[in-house]
Amino acid sequence: MSTARYSGVPRWVYVPAAAGAVFIVLPLAAMASRVEWASFFSLITSESSRHALVLSLRTSAMATLLCILLGVPMALVLARTSFRGQGLLRSLVLLPLVLPPVVGGIALLYTFGRKGLLGETMDVLGLQIAFSTTAVVIAQTFVSLPFLVVSLEGTLRTAGQRYEIVASTLGAAPTTVLRRITLPLVLPGLAAGAVLSFARALGEFGATITFAGSLEGVTRTLPLEIYLQRESNPDAAVALSLVLVVVAVLVIGLVRGTRSSAV
Amino acid sequence: MSLHLTATVDNRDVEIALDVADGQTVAILGPNGSGKSTVLSVVAGIVRPDRGRAVLDGTTLFDTADGVWLDPHKRGTGLLAQDPLLFPHLSVLDNVAFGPRSSGASRAGSREMACTRLDQVDAAELADRKPSELSGGQAQRVAIARALAAEPRLLLLDEPMAALDITVVPAMRQVLRHVLAGRTAVIVTHDVLDALLLADHVVVMEHGRVVEQGPTTAVLERPRSSFGAGIAGLNLARGVVEAGAVLTSSGLVVAGLHGAQQVRDGADAVAVFSPGAVSVHRQRPSGSPRNVYPAVVRELEPRGSQVRIQTGEIAADVTAPVVAELDLLPGSEVFLAVKASEVAIYEA
């Protein structure tokens, strides 16, 4: 694996490559250099910070769960079946990946908001979604679902159907095949997709502030808290930012771990 | 458990009719791309034919005229492919227990059945291993046990020995002989010996069509299709073993090499050798060959750069200059010689 071998990469390529790496790492280092280490712990454990952190973790976990419940069936349908308009459907499903999150937030507002498409129906049922914690979870799920679908669809395609066909000729019904063969075989890909979705949900800002607002303890997640603190208390903003960087680094480590253990 | 099949698959240009009698093994022979595997896929329910009908033991597997289509898991057709495809996340035992477990057997019950089947293919000691810890031959034996454990009404084998190391093929053939005895099965193969030793009936396919079919020995000894003639046309001497050689009913004694196991005296066996291994002489050859037979030339048949000489029981391929030099004509009396090292003896 690590045996040195001829790379074929022209030497000059290293210069822009190094510049790119610096471009990514330098801002993080600059931010870390501004952290007030003396007050770091008290800054990230202040009441509003704790509220924001707990809310973020809670809503991101819920959003990830929703992504798995909705995304696994979507990936299966996209990877294993073929029907008219499938290509178009795939493009539409991936739209939240490229859509500005604030646009997503407005779209959600006109769907689930008071005056939205489903808003009146929900009003009758006594459900008020906009500007609630539920809205945060919906916004996060909306933006992170494509990550899980794309990642899992790729894994399913790579894994192929050969084992599933064998299982069905052994008399296993489709649900049994899914539970005992397909899902165990794509578990590393599913885990990687779930971790990516969690990370995307944790960083969600635009759709959340548009659709859910910024109420402390209810809808003010960590990114929103950082944005607010930036004006009044830059030290706290930097400290909380570092917390998110650490979480992001852990996430990358987790994804790499699951990818490398995959067959 | 008899199978009746007619199927047309347009985009693969396959159009075939096939009947397998109860307890019979049919071998489908043919060149690559002749549609052999497509036939198995259609029977197993993996490929949907454009037109056709299949009935297995009274159950309609599909009938395009009536829109009947049974999903693969409801067909009772076990499929064994070239690649063993053991589920990598399950132990050998759980792989074999997968079939019975899926059809509703208890965990303990299905494991018990799995043990029995593993025993049947001499793989009981592998039960606790993971598929990644098995050799190719071991994995294929486990795959056979797994297919059997699902109690298929019809066993479909798609080149089951093509991916195996050549040294383990004879042993695997023995396992399959044992397993296929009395079982309704279809085996796709390009190896004449598989057809000879495993099948009662042979179907030769070319370009998606059946070009020849009949009882195995009849097809292999007197092939009428060009593919059959190319790969078959082997000399087969059936008889009983006596002192290590095969004694045929017509009195020929053919000495040869045995496979991994010595075939016991008195056992039914077949000696196989290619016409190219037979040399033709006008006088009885002196020296080494143990197998020398006096014969009368019946027919000379040009085959490319070679000429096939048909005698009563044995065919020989020689070059045209040899024919001229020996002045061979129908009716010529000759001696045919075959080195024992060119003859393979199999229990039959």
Which tens digits make up the pLDDT trace of A34-54? 888 888 888 888 888 889 999
Helix A234-261, helix A183-203: angle, nearest 10: 170
Query: What is the length of chain A?
Result: 263
Name the minimum distance, in Å, from the CA of B38 to any CA of chain A.
14
What's phi and psi for B11, nearest 5 deg? -70, -10
Q: Which residue has the higher pLDDT, B340 or A172?
A: A172
- ipTM over the 0.85 cut-off: no
Asked if the model's pLDDT at residue B223 lies above 70, the reply is no
SS3 for B249-270 is CCCCEECCEECCCCCCCCCEEE
A175 touches chain B (CB under 8 A): no
Chain B residues 209-228 within an 8 A CB cutoff of chain A: none
Write down the pLDDT at residue A6: 85
Mean pLDDT to the nearest integer, A162-186: 95
Write down the pLDDT at residue A262: 47
In percent, how much of chain A has pLDDT > 70? 97
Write down the pLDDT at residue B304: 75
Q: Which residues from chain B sit within 8 angstroms of residue A185, using beta carbons?
A: 87-89
Enumerate residues 6+ apart whose C-beta is below 8 A from A228: A214, A220
The DSSP bridge pattern shows strands B315-319 and B278-281 to be unpaired
Residue of A nearest to B155 (CA): A169
B77 touches chain A (CB under 8 A): yes
CB crowding B163-186: b at 16 or more within 10 Å, else e: ebeeebbbbbbbbbeebbeebbbb
Name the minimum distance, in Å, from the CA of B46 to any CA of chain A.
7
Which residues is B284 bridged to in the sheet? none
Q: What angle do CA A68, A71, A74 make, to 5 degrees?
A: 150
Asked if the model's pLDDT at residue A13 lies above 90, the reply is yes
Residue type, A43: L
In percent, how much of chain B has pLDDT > 70? 94
B71 touches chain A (CB under 8 A): yes
- A63 and A197 Cβ atoms separated by less than 8 Å: yes
Is the entire prediction scored with pTM above 0.90? Answer: no
pLDDT band, residue A263 (cuts 50/70/90): very low
Mean pLDDT to the nearest integer, B209-233: 73
- A61 and A198 Cβ atoms separated by less than 8 Å: yes
Whole-Å CA distances, B71 to A18, A44, B75, B122, B184:
56, 58, 7, 32, 20
Mean pLDDT score across all residues of chain A: 89
Pick from A108-112, B263-267, B342-346 the range whose average pLDDT is largest: A108-112
What CATH class does B250-347 carry? Answer: mainly beta
Write down the pLDDT at residue A4: 74
Write down the pLDDT at residue A21: 96
Domains of chain A: 45-261 (1.10.3720.10)
Domain boundaries, chain B: 3-231, 250-347
pLDDT in tens, B280-316: 988 888 776 678 888 899 888 887 778 888 887 788 8
Which residues is B347 bridged to in the sheet? B269
Write down the pLDDT at residue A253: 84
Residue of B nearest to A182 (CA): B87
Name the minimum distance, in Å, from the CA of B102 to any CA of chain A.
5
Residue of A nearest to B74 (CA): A171
Mean pLDDT to the nearest integer, A74-101: 91
Mean pLDDT score across all residues of chain B: 86
pLDDT band, residue A58 (cuts 50/70/90): very high
Helix, strand, coil % (nearest 5) of chain A? 80, 0, 20
Whole-Å CA distances, A163 to A170, B25, B131:
11, 26, 13
Tokens of A242: 């570092």
Of B85, B102, B147, the CB nearest to A163: B85
Q: Determine, for residues B102 and A185 on separate chains, whether the beta-carbon distance falls below 8 Å.
A: no
C-alpha B138: how far from chain center: 20
- B262 and B66 Cβ atoms separated by less than 8 Å: no
Q: Which residues from chain B sit within 8 angstroms of residue A180, using beta carbons?
A: 98, 102
Tokens 């790496």 belong to residue: A21
Name the minimum distance, in Å, from the CA of B89 to any CA of chain A.
7
Name the minimum distance, in Å, from the CA of A185 to any CA of chain B.
7
Write down the pLDDT at residue A170: 95
pLDDT in tens, B93-132: 999 999 999 988 899 999 999 999 999 888 999 999 999 9
- B91 and B146 Cβ atoms separated by less than 8 Å: no
**Superfamily of domain B3-231, CATH level 4:** P-loop containing nucleotide triphosphate hydrolases (3.40.50.300)
pLDDT in tens, B123-158: 999 999 999 999 988 999 999 999 999 999 999 999
Q: Determine, for residues A171 and B103 on separate chains, whether the beta-carbon distance falls below 8 Å.
A: yes
Q: How far apart (Å, rounded) are the C-alpha atoms in residues A79 and A73?
A: 10
In the three-class reduction of DSSP (H, G, I as helix; E, B as strand; rest coil), residue B86 is classed as coil
B99 touches chain A (CB under 8 A): yes
A167 touches chain B (CB under 8 A): yes
C-alpha A148: how far from chain center: 8
Q: Which residues from chain A sit within 8 angstroms of residue B113, using beta carbons?
A: none
Q: Determine, for residues B85 and A172 on separate chains, whether the beta-carbon distance falls below 8 Å.
A: no
Q: Determine, for residues B102 and A162 on separate chains, whether the beta-carbon distance falls below 8 Å.
A: no
Tokens of B310: 């048909």
Q: Determine the residue among B74, B101, B102 to mutate to test chain A binding: the one whose Cβ has the most chain A Cβ atoms within 10 Å.
A: B102
A82 touches chain B (CB under 8 A): no
Q: Which residues from chain B sit within 8 angstroms of residue A174, using beta carbons?
A: 71, 73
Residue type, A146: P
- Candidates A59, A209, A197, A42; CA nearest to A134 is A59
Residue of A nearest to B99 (CA): A170
